[in-house]
Amino acid sequence: MKRIVALILFFTVNVFAQTVEEATLLVENESGFGVKAAALGNAFTAIADDYSAIYWNPAGLAQIKMQQMYGSLNHLKLNTETTFLGNKTTLDQGYTKFQSFGYVYPFPVRRGSMVLALGYQRTKDLNKIVQFSGFNPNSNDLAFSIYNDLGYDGLILPFDADLNLSQNIKEDGHLSQWSIGGAIDLAPNFSAGATVNFIGGSSDYRLKYLQEDARGTNSYDIYDADGQLIENFYYNYYQIEQLISTDYSGIELKLGGLWRLNQNLRVGANITFPMKLSVDETWTYADELSYDVYVIGEDATYRFVEPYDSLGQFNYNIKVPFKFDLGFSYTFKNLLLAASGRYVDWTQLELEKGDDAPAGYETYFTRQNDMAPLILTDVFSYSLGAQLSILNNSLQLRAGYRYVPSPIKDSEKSFDKTYVSVGAGFIISKNTQIDVAVIRGIYETDKYYRYDWDYDQSLEPMATHEKYQIDRIQVGLRYSF
């Protein structure tokens, strides 16, 4: 039997609980939903004229004068380029999923407008695929306590240098909302609205790691108490597989307003109140260590293959701070221009131990929350969009741009996310419209995969540089009756 010394911290942190940095990356940069909004770069706060207003600005629902059925599909293609120890690995993965459906009902009223909407939408994809490999001539600080039938009783032997390393990470999931929203005209030029979101979603995460002794460096001469050489010890390989299935839940409230300053100019504002997102994880962990021992006195080699596995559950909460949205739109003849911005102070994000989490994690989460102002920052993201209506308004051509700074303090500029989009709306009958959007996003990041006992993130061998390109094609249908 063996005991894993070097992986205790890695296993505890990455399976049992997230850091504030990882939690922030989970909940930041929602793509939202709505094909028209996506084509306009998400500059939709002051437009909000279809069912997707329930997300962007519920006050915009008051503009809808007929019952509306809404649905959309999303195709995502994810391309990642990972550089590890000078080696580049490129992967592509496609995902096609249902994105949203909703229903809008305007009540018959004598004046103004009163509208109710409800539906379901996926607001953030949690898809990831990363693979890398390379030869590591340096130490990754990995070591094991060896126990076996040859008399080894906790002898600690490093298995950390001159290694062929490979790792594969794949995650598939989403955050979603069941929503009910409403809007009412409070004045001829002002509408107010509210949305209650019942947050859900799930993700499946898999990590596979393998290291092999490439040059026989991780071998040791074993001596007896009298100093006589009695055995030669050789590491072969070590491999890990982690599986984490996660469910998300929470309740969120939004309030919005839409001002029609004149026939051409509109201003929209939206406040998303703080939310507690519950995270429930079910995890399995398996590893396997292989080594040989050559016994000199017997002229015999013994091969040991030692598997280990465990499973369990863990839960915790992420307290997401306020989100503030402000937008403007201006119409000039058949041209529509729009701009939106969102402000979030991520230093206010907090982690909280769940009711079913093991005792003793309060200190861990307190330390993480103390770190938030040191490693996170506030963020102002913005979107720009334009729409040109032609052919008697039966065809609408759209384009957009979105910029989302990294919430990690002092990040490089390349870590910020940028998106460009184009799209079109086709009115195919009096009651039916089809919308199409094509979006491309790019960003980069540095990752550190922790396999070291002292949690020293400066160790170069396990650092990667990762480039992401996200391409989406979205198609939506609106039917009014």
Q: What is the CB-side half-sphere exposure of residue 446 using CA atoms within 13 A?
A: 14
Angle at 399 between CA 398 and CA 405, to 5 degrees: 145
pLDDT in the model for residue 361: 78
Could you tell me if residue 85 is left (phi over 0), alpha (psi between -120 and 50 degrees) or otherwise beta? left
* Third-level CATH fold of 2-480: Porin (2.40.160)
pLDDT in the model for residue 407: 95
In the DSSP assignment, the letter for residue 475 is E
At CB < 8 A and 24+ separation, what contacts does 89-95 make? 89/131, 89/132, 89/133, 91/129, 91/130, 91/131, 93/127, 93/129, 93/170, 95/125, 95/127, 95/172
Dig out the tokens for 210 from the structure: 């393998």
Which sign, positive or negative, has the C-alpha torsion 368, 374, 375, 379?
A: positive
pLDDT in the model for residue 3: 40
Which ranges of the chain have pLDDT less than 70? Answer: 1-17, 450-461
pLDDT in the model for residue 41: 97
Residue 95's H or E segment, with its range, is strand 87-106
Q: CA 357 to CA 349: how far, in whole Å?
A: 20
- Residues sharing a CB contact under 8 Å with residue 477, sequence separation 6 or more, in sequence order: 69, 70, 71, 72, 432, 433, 434, 435
Torsion of CA 195, 198, 199, 201, to 10 degrees: -130
* pLDDT tens, residue by residue, 399-457: 999 999 999 999 899 999 999 999 999 999 999 999 999 999 999 998 877 654 444 44
Reference 177, options 102, 114, 69, 115; nearest CA is: 102
pLDDT in the model for residue 301: 96
User: Bridge partners of 336?
Assistant: 331, 387
pLDDT in the model for residue 11: 38
pLDDT in the model for residue 450: 64
Q: CA 255 to CA 196: how far, in whole Å?
A: 9
pLDDT in the model for residue 216: 87
Q: CA 399 to CA 394: how far, in whole Å?
A: 17
- Residues sharing a CB contact under 8 Å with residue 76, sequence separation 6 or more, in sequence order: 94, 95, 96, 97, 125, 127, 470, 471, 472
Could you tell me if residue 375 is left (phi over 0), alpha (psi between -120 and 50 degrees) or otherwise beta? alpha
pLDDT in the model for residue 69: 97
> Is residue 31 within 8 Å of 124, Cβ to Cβ?
yes
> Is residue 442 within 8 Å of 468, Cβ to Cβ?
yes
> Is residue 287 within 8 Å of 237, Cβ to Cβ?
no
pLDDT in the model for residue 451: 56
Q: CA 52 to CA 35: how far, in whole Å?
A: 9
